Amino acid sequence: MPVPSFSPARDLHQEVSTRLAAIAEDAAAGALEPAIALLSDAIEAGGVIQAFGTGHSEAFAMEIAGRAGGLIPTNKVALRNVVLHGKHSVAELAGQPPLERDPRIAEDLFATIDRDPADVFVIASNSGVNGSIVGTALLAQEHGHKVIAVTSLAHTAAVTPKHPSGKRLSEIADVVIDNRAPYGDTTLESPGGLGVGAVSSITSAFIAQLLTVGIAHRLGSTETPAPLYISANIPSGDEHNHALESKYGDRIRRYA
């Protein structure tokens, strides 16, 4: 039987799997070690991993912070924090242009973060050019924090920065990790000629888990396991998690 010329499942799987394989090969060769070392050292020094992403890149921050199998000393930074913990209104979150593009919001967002000098910022942005992303990265560095970027090098090189500094996230960060997404993020073409099959959320989630696994192995031992969450939906899950969370107090925020 002839193979159909277009098979959504087969073709998307091919696009995703080849990218994941390339990321895994890079990781096996040590490409993620600089990031893993920075993050491990931060935790050992009592710091917290500050994970930030806007739009769909917030999914990356959710993979880093506050999930089963993830590290306890992690905090998810989100634009809505300027409403929950700052002076902005809910209406502004849905305003135009999108708040993520506004470089002025970075200072207000940064002010909502309960920081320690040992904290490291991990910032995800497929384009790496929006004002809030670049502004937050610059502020983090100005305050002495290391910055790790997860971005699409193919996309960011093809677009114009939106921050007044004229910089991209990849040009600011101390460590840059390529999420391997193509320009525009999509990998397949629809019958109307528009792109479908976006991959950055999938590849970035894989990177987040590779970082977490690497840190856990670097920090943990048989006698002293790394500070990891276990599922709250298994016996003693809440007790285990709350005991470790209490060491960081309000520096890590957990809410829907």
Domain assignment present for residue 229? The answer is: yes
Number of structural domains (the chain) is 1
Domain assignment present for residue 3? The answer is: no
Query: Residue 93: which domain range?
Result: 8-248
Domain assignment present for residue 2? The answer is: no
Strand order from edge to edge, sheet including 74-77: 74-77, 49-53, 120-124, 146-151, 175-178
pLDDT value of residue 93? 86
pLDDT value of residue 224? 87
Over the chain, what HEC string results? CCCCCCCHHHHHHHHHHHHHHHHHHHHHCCCCHHHHHHHHHHHHCCCCEEEEECHHHHHHHHHHECCCCCECCEEEECCCHHHHCCCCCHHHHCCCCCHHHCCCHHHHHHHCCCCCCCCEEEEECCCCCCHHHHHHHHHHHHCCCEEEEEECHHHHCCCCCCCCCCCCHHHHCCEEEECCCCCCCEEEECCCCCEEEECHHHHHHHHHHHHHHHHHHHHCCCCCCCCECCCCCCCCHHHHHHHHHCCCHHHCCCCC
CATH number for the domain harbouring residue 43: 3.40.50.10490
Walk along the chain (256 residues) in steps of 10 and give the mean pLDDT of each run.
Answer: 74 97 98 98 97 96 96 96 92 85 94 97 97 97 98 97 96 98 96 95 98 96 90 95 94 84
Spatial separation of the C-alpha atoms in residues 126 and 132, rounded to whole Å? 13
CA distances from 96 to 99, 128, 138 (A): 7, 19, 24
Structure tokens at 239: 């007790």
Domain assignment present for residue 211? The answer is: yes
Domain assignment present for residue 56? The answer is: yes
DSSP lists the bridge partners of residue 189 as 195
Domain assignment present for residue 32? The answer is: yes
Q: 97: cis peptide before it, omega within 30°?
A: yes
pTM value is 0.94
Domain assignment present for residue 52? The answer is: yes
Spatial separation of the C-alpha atoms in residues 215 and 220, rounded to whole Å? 8
For 98, half-sphere exposure in the C-beta direction (CA atoms, 13 angstrom radius) is: 11
In 3D, which of 248, 253, 254 has the Cα closest to residue 43? 248
